[in-house]
Amino acid sequence: DQQVKQNSPSLSVQEGRISILNCDYTNSMFDYFLWYKKYPAEGPTFLISISSIKDKNEDGRFTVFLNKSAKHLSLHIVPSQPGDSAVYFCAGGGRFGAGTRLTVKP
Amino acid sequence: DTGVSQDPRHKITKRGQNVTFRCDPISEHNRLYWYRQTLGQGPEFLTYFQNEAQLEKSRLLSDRFSAERPKGSFSTLEIQRTEQGDSAMYLCASSPTGGEDEQYFGPGTRLTVT
């Protein structure tokens, strides 16, 4: 059951530019969403979250936007840094998307 | 406490053998989760514990799989009569109280069934 979808398996951006990672969900009962980052040979680590009572949450270079009517959220990273290169997972309702591999080129 | 630990990190076994994995969560975290991750996919929920009680099991958790958390601290995941389709990364995570808390993941145990 693909209740959380990340349709872009990969994304490549230049250092200093904005990275936008997208996530769609199907269950309107989901009311809290999280983004995790995963480096090779490590488990996912929590990055940022958003509650459905908000449409934006910001933490430093990372901002998550939530569009409840579209059942869509996005993670913006600006400016992108090479150390941001990792796989990013969107999660909601205990379910994870398939992940997007972000590569930030120096 | 340095985080969630899992043992072993890698396990190679022959089809039909039993394997057991261990997870040590962050101390004082009440919730403990098991996930399975295959190549190109996100973590898939298997089961979770609130203290020693196993509160939910996914339909992915066939009767060959069993998980325990006997004293509400560490947990074990056993797979009996392994099949090649069981080859995956098995991730453990813990959280302070559950609900909307973020989860803290271990490094995972990579299982290869030959």
Strands A10-14 and A100-105: parallel
Nearest chain A residue to B42 by CA distance is A98
pLDDT tens across B52-110, in order? 999 988 888 889 999 999 988 999 999 999 999 999 999 999 998 766 789 999 999 99
CA dist., res. A48 & res. A3, Å (int): 20
Nearest chain B residue to A5 by CA distance is B42
Min CA distance, A38 vs chain B (Å)? 10
Among A1, A35, A46, the strongest candidate for a mutation testing the B interface, having the largest count of B CBs within 10 A, is A46
Q: Count other C-beta atoms under 10 Å from residue B84's C-beta.
A: 9
Nearest chain A residue to B10 by CA distance is A41
pLDDT tens across A50-102, in order? 999 999 999 999 999 999 999 999 999 999 999 999 999 999 988 999 999 99
CA dist., res. A61 & res. A79, Å (int): 7
Residues A54, A63: contact at Cβ < 8 Å?
Answer: no
